[in-house]
Structure 1
Amino acid sequence: MRFDLIGAKFAAGLPKLADAASMMVPPRGWQHLPEWLNALAETIAMAFMGTLLGAIAAVPLGFACARNTLPLRALQFGFRRFADSLRSLDHLIWAIVFVRAVGLGPLAGIMAIAVVDAGTLAKLYSEAIENVDRRPLEGARSTGASEPETIRWGLLPQVLPNMLASTLYMWESNTRSATILGIVGAGGIGYQLSDRLRVYDWGEASTIILLILIAVYAIDLISARLRRALIRGGESAARPI
């Protein structure tokens, strides 16, 4: 099998790549900045709402996928395969499906992100639930606590920091994914970028790319700090007195 990764086509494309890069400097189109910032805010909101809806759906699904909270193996196996099916397709594929279903706009992007996140976070949540320390659970049951009370006081304090940290990471990742979803009609800054690339307006495209990089860096920084704070708080809460 021949992949032709580095060959005549690659060599012929390098000058074209250099031309495109040279046309992106300096960035242009700053008069469109208010419009682009509004589109960027739409992309961030799309990622946030998709992550939030996916996380809400993933909580019961994560408990259903965990062996220690759903002892019925056949049901637990079925829920795990269902979560696998949700995350088996990329955001882009789901976005194309939902664009056909609900039309162009952010709603299609939100639904695509929510579906993939529900499957991904359900797996992460179930793994956190399965790896909890069983001693607090046994202690709660020994006092006569019901199963919901055992989960509330013995399990949730252990897994909640990790669940929140995983959700924050997914929001950070989905901000980048939401940009790509705009190219297939989900709106936001990705649509603006696609429109400029379609007409070979490299100067304005470079400005949009710069705005995306700044936004992703800011969200990465905020998300990383929040995750560290949550994980430290969880470790402090779990530490025996």
Structure 2
Amino acid sequence: ARMSAASLEALRAAHPRAFARPPRERLARAALCLAALAVFAFACWRVAPTMEAFTTGLGKLGFLVRFMLPPSSGGAFLPLLGALGETLAMAFLGTLLAALIALPLGFLGARNALPAPVLRFLFRRGFDTLRGVDSLIWALIFVSAVGMGPFAGVLALAVPDIGIFAKLFSEAIENADRRPVEAVRACGGSRLDEARFGLAPQVLPVMLSHVLYFFESNVRSASILGVVGAGGIGLALSERIRINDWDEAAFIILMILAAVWLIDTVSGRIRRAIIRA
């Protein structure tokens, strides 16, 4: 049935913002859209290549693709498989180390677990510092510090992931239901008991889901770290590209894609099982 004029006016009076935004808000939104458009235009002006450079690049890319077909292992399938296993080990150890260190840090960065604002602020800024530097930069630092090899890659993956995990874990803890925590407190439990029995059962499935996703992501990152000397399949790929063995480079890329696809499929099923549980 059609709403009467009186009912419509009453609804308009009760919820004026649903019918018409204030002029100041409309002006602010228009200014924000114009600013975003200006930033987009500036970015295109500074970054976008000329049409000549674009067409030349496409031509060179097509030239390289022809040399990639058909992909070939070059008789080194087993060594490449070992290098891929090294990359998977780097990703697994880096993710696991980051998650173990970030678990207590997540509680220290959560508002409902650490009531001291100054300490919480310092922990949060520490998280930002760790995750603000890309793993590739950390790889360059650790290769210089501990030498070339997978250990540098593990550290380069773990350090920024500590900051990312700690931030995600603290947000999950802050969004947890307070009623189980209050029940533990009412039973005379300490703050440690509140975290152990009130918060942890709620947030651990979410944390595990994040860890599984980042393991799959770190497989790709570990492949890139090999380019700067962190070992693994990325080192083999950079060597093939350096000497223009494009058919073997294509084979290595396919191996990386297959590994990422398999891990994504398995971890996706585990995440869905966790969510259903």
TM-score calculated relative to the size of structure 2: 0.82
Match of 1:173 in 2: 217
| Alpha-carbon offset, residue 4 of structure 1 | 3.8
Supply the distance in 2 between the matched residues of 1:113 and 1:25 (Cα, whole angstroms). Answer: 33
Match of 1:93 in 2: 137
1:70 equivalenced with 2:88 (yes/no): no
Match of 2:71 in 1: 27
Supply the distance in 1 between the matched residues of 2:59 and 2:166 (Cα, whole angstroms). Answer: 46
For residues 173-205 of structure 1, the C-alpha deviation after alignment (integer angstroms, 9 at most, x for no partner) is 000000000000000000000000001110110
Match of 2:175 in 1: 131
For residues 13-34 of structure 1, the C-alpha deviation after alignment (integer angstroms, 9 at most, x for no partner) is 2221111001000011352000
Greater displacement, 64-73 / 10-19: 10-19
What is the RMSD computed on CA atoms of the aligned residues? Answer: 1.0
| Alpha-carbon offset, residue 2 of structure 1 | 4.2
Which segments of 5 or more consecutive residues in structure 1 lack a partner in the other structure? Answer: 234-241
For residues 210-241 of structure 1, the C-alpha deviation after alignment (integer angstroms, 9 at most, x for no partner) is 111100000000111111111222xxxxxxxx
Cα distance change, pair 130–4 in 1 and its aligned pair in 2 (3 A): closer
Supply the distance in 1 between the matched residues of 2:226 and 2:162 (Cα, whole angstroms). Answer: 21
Supply the distance in 2 between the matched residues of 1:30 and 1:194 (Cα, whole angstroms). Answer: 15
Supply the distance in 2 between the matched residues of 1:116 and 1:220 (Cα, whole angstroms). Answer: 21
Q: SS state of the match for residue 76, structure 2?
A: helix
Q: Show the 5 A alignment for 1:221-232.
A: 221-232=265-276
Q: SS state of the match for residue 75, structure 2?
A: helix
| Alpha-carbon offset, residue 7 of structure 1 | 1.6
> Aligned match of 1:119 in 160, 163, 171?
163
1:197 equivalenced with 2:197 (yes/no): no
| Alpha-carbon offset, residue 8 of structure 1 | 1.1
Cα distance change, pair 19–71 in 1 and its aligned pair in 2 (3 A): same
> Aligned match of 2:251 in 191, 207, 210?
207
Supply the distance in 2 between the matched residues of 1:13 and 1:152 (Cα, whole angstroms). Answer: 57
Structure 2 residue identity aligned to 1:91:
S
Structure 2 residue identity aligned to 1:230:
I
How many residues are treated as equivalent by the alignment?
233
For residues 73-106 of structure 1, the C-alpha deviation after alignment (integer angstroms, 9 at most, x for no partner) is 0000000000000000111000000000000000
Match of 1:236 in 2: none
Match of 1:239 in 2: none
Supply the distance in 1 between the matched residues of 2:84 and 2:71 (Cα, whole angstroms). Answer: 17
Match of 2:81 in 1: 37
Supply the distance in 1 between the matched residues of 2:271 and 2:157 (Cα, whole angstroms). Answer: 21
Cα distance change, pair 20–153 in 1 and its aligned pair in 2 (3 A): same
Greater displacement, 70-79 / 21-30: 21-30
| Alpha-carbon offset, residue 5 of structure 1 | 2.5
> Aligned match of 1:141 in 170, 185, 194?
185
> Aligned match of 1:163 in 207, 213, 225?
207
| Alpha-carbon offset, residue 145 of structure 1 | 1.5
| Alpha-carbon offset, residue 146 of structure 1 | 1.7
Match of 2:28 in 1: none
Q: Show the 5 A alignment for 1:75-86.
A: 75-86=119-130
1:185 equivalenced with 2:238 (yes/no): no
Supply the distance in 1 between the matched residues of 2:46 and 2:164 (Cα, whole angstroms). Answer: 35
Q: Show the 5 A alignment for 1:96-107.
A: 96-107=140-151
TM-score calculated relative to the size of structure 1: 0.94
Supply the distance in 2 between the matched residues of 1:60 and 1:152 (Cα, whole angstroms). Answer: 11
Return structure 1 stretches of 4+ with deviation > 2 angstroms: 1-6
> Aligned match of 1:15 in 52, 56, 59?
59
